A and B are shown apart, each in its own frame.
Chain A
Amino acid sequence: MITNAQRQVIARWYPGLERGDIEDLVRLFAPHPWIRNAAMPPMEGPDAPRRLLTEFFAHTIARRFSVLDGAAGDGQLFVGWTGDLTFASAGGLEDVIRRRSLTVTLRGVERFQLDDQGRIEQLDVFHETTSVTEALRKAGLQV
């Protein structure tokens, strides 16, 4: 059964990602969280959420998420989603103006483990990692 604290995390996490609202998202985390984003090495510590989010928002200029559903058990919360992520070239604003951006649709699952105060102490982001790389390569974009 999904708890109210878990529902709060879902209600703030995905809209916060869409808005690029780093400050609100960082407030969802425990003081010393552990984070693993797909194939990236795990990050741990007070700065981990800000590092993750800063990098994500630097690479994407728009993000749209649809939550499929979720389930909780064994102290874990799982949320399935589809996302349309628009990547910008590392060339920055000039490339964006020239429409050198690309939107990729992904499916994935997030695993949240919350502490006793409802803060995220572990976050795993599961999604495949080859189609984004391949789509960006075909579009001539480097991120």
Chain B
Amino acid sequence: MDKRRVVEDFLRADEAGDIESRVAACAEEVVIYDAGQPPAVGRAAARALMTGFRDVTSRRTFEVLSVAEEGNVVYAWWQSHVDFRAGVTLGPVTTTRPFDVTVSGVHRFLFDATGHIRELDIAHETTSTIEGAVRAAR
């Protein structure tokens, strides 16, 4: 199994808003840790997490800067540009206009023996997004 290919396909599917191919890449008992949100455990929770993010955004791009693989772990370092829709609620803030944010981060994929994603960490700072939402709520 080409893990790098799985990782690159996963990020391309995120850009395309393709939920089901990403859910299919996950193990049944997948755990997703997405930047401070409560862990999403299992495929149904993964689908809900992915759907929630797709629905509040109109465009997502990932420029992959580097990929590193060691055994059953793959890290992908990226820079992402995301366009958020108007009417998005982030914490205490509900936006009235669209806004966009560029952040750098890392996905950490832990694969199981069958080549499915058992654990996914999405690590990035979240201050820029909150600040963008606050400006778009004024």
Instruction: List residues of A (14-42) whose CB comes within 8 Å of B's CBs.
Output: 36, 38-39
Known: A80-B121, A124-B104. A71 touches B68 (CB 8 A): yes
Return chain A residues, CB-CB under 8 Å to B67: 73-74
Q: Which of A54-62, A84-92, A126-134 has 4 or more CB atoms under 8 Å from chain B? A: A126-134
Q: Cα distance A107–B108 when bound, in Å? A: 11
Closest to A76 in B: B66
Total interface residues in chain A, CB < 8 Å: 30
* A68–B125 CB distance below 8 A: no
Would you call the interface of chain A mostly helix, strand, loop, or mixed?
A: strand
* B106–A126 CB distance below 8 A: yes
Q: Cα distance A133–B75 when bound, in Å? A: 27
* A76–B77 CB distance below 8 A: yes
Q: Cα distance A77–B69 when bound, in Å? A: 10
Instruction: Report A's interface with B, CB cutoff 8 A.
Output: 1-2, 36, 38-39, 68-78, 80, 107-109, 111, 124, 126-131, 133-134
Q: Is B130 located at the chain interface by the 8 A CB criterion?
A: yes
CB B102 to nearest CB in A, in angstroms, measures: 12
Total interface residues in chain B, CB < 8 Å: 27
Q: Cα distance A1–B68 when bound, in Å? A: 9
* B75–A80 CB distance below 8 A: yes
Would you call the interface of chain B mostly helix, strand, loop, or mixed?
A: strand
> Which single member of B36, B104, B123 contacts A131 (CB below 8 Å)?
B36
Return chain A residues, CB-CB under 8 Å to B75: 71, 78, 80, 109
Instruction: Report B's interface with A, CB cutoff 8 A.
Output: 33, 35-36, 66-71, 73-75, 77, 91, 104-106, 108, 110, 121, 123-128, 130
Q: Cα distance A80–B71 when bound, in Å? A: 14
Return chain B residues, CB-CB under 8 Å to A133: 127
* A39–B127 CB distance below 8 A: yes
- Report the 5 A-B pairs with minimum CB-CB distance, sorted nearest first: A73-B68, A128-B36, A71-B70, A78-B75, A39-B127
Return chain B residues, CB-CB under 8 Å to A130: 36, 91, 126-127, 130
> Which single member of B68, B91, B123, B126 contacts A76 (CB below 8 Å)?
B68
Closest to A113 in B: B66
Known: A78-B75, A78-B77, A78-B108. A128 touches B68 (CB 8 A): no
Q: Cα distance A68–B33 when bound, in Å? A: 13
Q: Cα distance A129–B126 when bound, in Å? A: 5
> Which single member of A69, A109, A111 contacts B110 (CB below 8 Å)?
A69
Q: Cα distance A112–B124 when bound, in Å? A: 15
* A107–B123 CB distance below 8 A: yes
